[in-house]
Chain A
């Protein structure tokens, strides 16, 4: 079945640095979703992308829907301590609109 591969698995950065992570698939997605999960909480939707090439921002976060429709990128500018958490990409499999699949997540750590 379709899978989403996220990289990197984890990141250790200094406060103030920019962050970039991506999500790839061997098959096409028509929607890309980016979620953030704080420790012990449920994931929160950050950005939803619906069109190939689309670039959408939400504050310091920017996400892009890849032109090939097989990848998506999430960038965080000027990281702050509350950015710590797990970032998941997700999307509905092709020809399935009754569920979505998730990547395994990128865990972001910010060094003091």
Chain B
């Protein structure tokens, strides 16, 4: 069954701790993306990667880091430098240079 998985669905962390959100896809997509969504808001691009071992900053990259060591995986680390990390995080993937992106179910991060 092809798709994008994000885990966990809900994540709680104490302020000042780094936390890593998982995103895996088995769609053989080249490109992967991370978005942040705040209540009642649209999607804001954090980081994206078109190929393995390469990634670019999106519109709100500060306080976040990513890696792309495998085609299937694009983990996002929310660092303690992110001032307001509580949000809903969405991962997406697509074939390279094709606009249509497919989304995972999201991870809701709450920092206490």
Contact = CB atoms under 8 A, between A and B. Distances in A.
Interface string A84-102: 0000101110000111101
Contacts of A100: 99, 101
Contacts of B50: 98
A104 interface: yes
Contact of A42 (B41, B42, B97, B105): B105
Given A98-B31, A98-B48, A99-B45, A31 B99 contact: yes
Interface residues of B, number: 28
Interface string B42-73: 11010010100000101000000000000000
Given A42-B103, A44-B103, A45-B100, A103 B48 contact: no
A59 interface: no
20 contacts: A33-B99, A33-B101, A41-B105, A42-B103, A42-B105, A43-B103, A44-B103, A45-B101, A48-B99, A88-B43, A97-B97, A97-B98, A98-B31, A98-B48, A98-B56, A99-B33, A99-B48, A102-B42, A102-B43, A105-B42
Contacts of A107: 40
